[in-house]
Amino acid sequence: MQKITIQNLDKYVGKEVKISGWLTNKRSGKGIEFLIVRDGSGFVQCIADENEIDAKVFNLAKSLSQESSFELKGTVVKDEKQIGGFEIHVKDIKLIGESVSFPITNKPHGVEFLMDNRHLWLRSKRQWAIMRVRNRLIFAIHNFFQKEEFVQMDAPFFTGNAVEGTTTLFATDFYDDKAYLSQSGQLYGEAMAMAMGKIYTFGPTFRAEKSKTRRHLSEFWMIEPEMAFFDNDMNMDLIESFIKYIVKDVKENCKAEFEILERDTSIFDLIIKDKFPRLTYDQAAKILIGEEKVNGKTTIETLENDFLEVLKNIEENQKEIESAENQIKAGVKKGQKNYLQNKIDTIKNNIKELDEKKKVIPQWIESAKHFKYGSDLGGSDETVLTRMFDLPVMVYNWPHEIKAFYMKRDKENPHLAKGVDVLAPEGYGEVVGGGERETNEELLIGKINEHQLPMKAFEWYLDLRRYGSVPHAGFGLGLERMVAWICKLKHIRETIPFPRMYGRLFP
């Protein structure tokens, strides 16, 4: 008999197989037990029928608790009703490890409780699906760059200098010298691109910002390609084909995962097919304040519509609660009452979210109306701007004052820098930031002084401009933000096995 994994069940229909795994859930009827088993590769329902197996085995099946581990023998049967499309009729079970009172049940839990139990939470179906999508994204990213003849190289984690002086860094001790954990591998990426042509780094990045928001982590993974002989237009073309490629790959290879996550993947088809809108910063600013329309509508009109929609939804939800409460008052069976109570709770949660929107949309409108030309796009501005499109939006040609010191100045418009930000749709905000790099040594020295950075630490970087300097460009993709958007998650903390964020160092 062959030992197999759940993801390969389709090749063994009608055959007897052996799997090892854990029990995630159990349902029972008279003389029958439905065991939901996971083995890391997938989930499958196994049926233990009292009439078909040894009494000892049946009793063992009956007594199995959540997350106990065992080896199971049985016959693979096709069943369209099941998530994977198959089930196993049990012949024999051997217990390996008991599990008493597993803390994470198949019922809702709060965020704090789940985060405290992250080491166990990872076993749940939803987390399994997210981690599989993350894995596939990483695979697709490597495939894309390798296919495009990029060389993967690694930047150091310990650095002696801050790339962008403003951000807070984690300070550590490096043989009695002060060192920082890297917040970007980009400067080293530029040096490596001058050696290898096209390179990409893929590693962890550390930011000590005391940010407690749904899109921040203190430790996250970043992909940073850097290309010699590239200008910003070529850079934007590359970013667009890169995103199209990884979205297509993950859509085709993670169907079961998206089903578990209840992620509507139809938006991916647009992304794969249509050209991304490219807006200059000037255009973006005009759209924001309502001077320029998108598809015949201004941002203000769109948001005001959204706001009315929210009010309408809240009203409808409240009516539904009222009618459910009246039914309960009138007297119903226990099962019906539970069902209604459950429904009320769900609607109440909905209303909480809608109330949040009700509070926040007027603030967005105000913030958009009063957007000042020359300032950076705030979180709400990004949401407002992307609300106008179904695709990722590329914003380029930024006022140079608000961009990093190494950003290439536009010859024709010296107040602009040739940077590009990619804003993901559905409110996910900036997933990519990049641009063409300054090659003019004098301008660069001026910028380093302007930002009050220690010139000595940048001597090696300036060398890149002294010996065969060429136009070059690159970008950085935040892996976790990408995963959050692709899976449509509420919070970035679910996108990485063990998130490190302000106030969270364990488990």
Residues 309-338 that bind RNA (CB under 7 A): 333-335, 338
Tell me the H-state helices in 370-410: 379-387
**Per rule CB under 7 A, is residue 442 in the interface with RNA?**
no
Nearer Cβ to RNA, position 295 or 329? 329
- Give the closest residue to 181 by CA, choosing from 170, 165, 168: 170
CB of 125 closer than 8 Å to CB of 24: yes
CB of 35 closer than 8 Å to CB of 21: no
Residue 271 has phi, psi (to 5 degrees) of -65, -40
**How far is Cα 385 from Cα 316, in angstroms, rounded to an integer?**
28
**Under rule CB under 7 A, which residues in 233-272 are in contact with RNA?**
none
**Under rule CB under 7 A, which residues in 114-133 are in contact with RNA?**
115
Q: How far is the CB of 103 from RNA (least distance, A)?
A: 6
Nearer Cβ to RNA, position 230 or 371? 371
Strand partners of residue 501: 504
- The pair of structure tokens assigned to 48 is 């233990």
Q: How far is the CB of 31 from RNA (least distance, A)?
A: 5
**Per rule CB under 7 A, is residue 59 in the interface with RNA?**
no
Place of tokens 């030309």: 373
Residue 226 has phi, psi (to 5 degrees) of -145, 130
Return the residue of 14, 55, 97, 101 that touches RNA, per CB under 7 A: 101
Return the residue of 99, 305, 342, 449 that touches RNA, per CB under 7 A: 342
Return the residue of 136, 207, 418, 447 that touches RNA, per CB under 7 A: 207
**Per rule CB under 7 A, is residue 14 in the interface with RNA?**
no
Among 100-108, 237-245, 250-258, 316-324, the segment contacting RNA (CB under 7 A): 100-108
- The pair of structure tokens assigned to 18 is 């052996």
Q: 455-474 burial, b if ≥16 CB within 10 A, otherwise e?
A: eeebeebeebbeeebeebbb
Q: How far is the CB of 324 from RNA (least distance, A)?
A: 14
Return the residue of 32, 272, 294, 462 that touches RNA, per CB under 7 A: 32
Q: How far is the CB of 175 from RNA (least distance, A)?
A: 28
CB of 416 closer than 8 Å to CB of 410: yes
Q: 343-365 burial, b if ≥16 CB within 10 A, otherwise e?
A: ebeebeebbeebeebeeebeebb
Return the residue of 75, 152, 161, 211 that touches RNA, per CB under 7 A: 211
**Under rule CB under 7 A, which residues in 62-91 are in contact with RNA?**
65-66, 79, 81-82, 87, 89
* 3 state DSSP class of 106: coil
**Under rule CB under 7 A, which residues in 357-396 are in contact with RNA?**
360, 376, 378-380, 382
CB of 131 closer than 8 Å to CB of 121: no
**Per rule CB under 7 A, is residue 103 in the interface with RNA?**
yes
**Per rule CB under 7 A, is residue 25 in the interface with RNA?**
yes
Continuous segment of H or E residues that includes residue 303 = helix 299-330
Strand partners of residue 233: none
Nearer Cβ to RNA, position 49 or 390? 49
Nearer Cβ to RNA, position 111 or 171? 111
Q: How far is the CB of 176 from RNA (least distance, A)?
A: 28
CB of 236 closer than 8 Å to CB of 272: no
Nearer Cβ to RNA, position 107 or 178? 107
Return the residue of 433, 435, 436, 437 that touches RNA, per CB under 7 A: 433
Number of residues counted as binding RNA (CB under 7 A): 80
Q: How far is the CB of 36 from RNA (least distance, A)?
A: 7
**Under rule CB under 7 A, which residues in 124-183 are in contact with RNA?**
164, 166-167
**How far is Cα 457 from Cα 89, in angstroms, rounded to an integer?**
67
Q: Going by DSSP bridges, is the β-strand pair 158-159/43-49 parallel, antiparallel, or unpaired?
A: unpaired
Q: How far is the CB of 239 from RNA (least distance, A)?
A: 11
**Per rule CB under 7 A, is residue 30 in the interface with RNA?**
yes
- The pair of structure tokens assigned to 313 is 């939804």
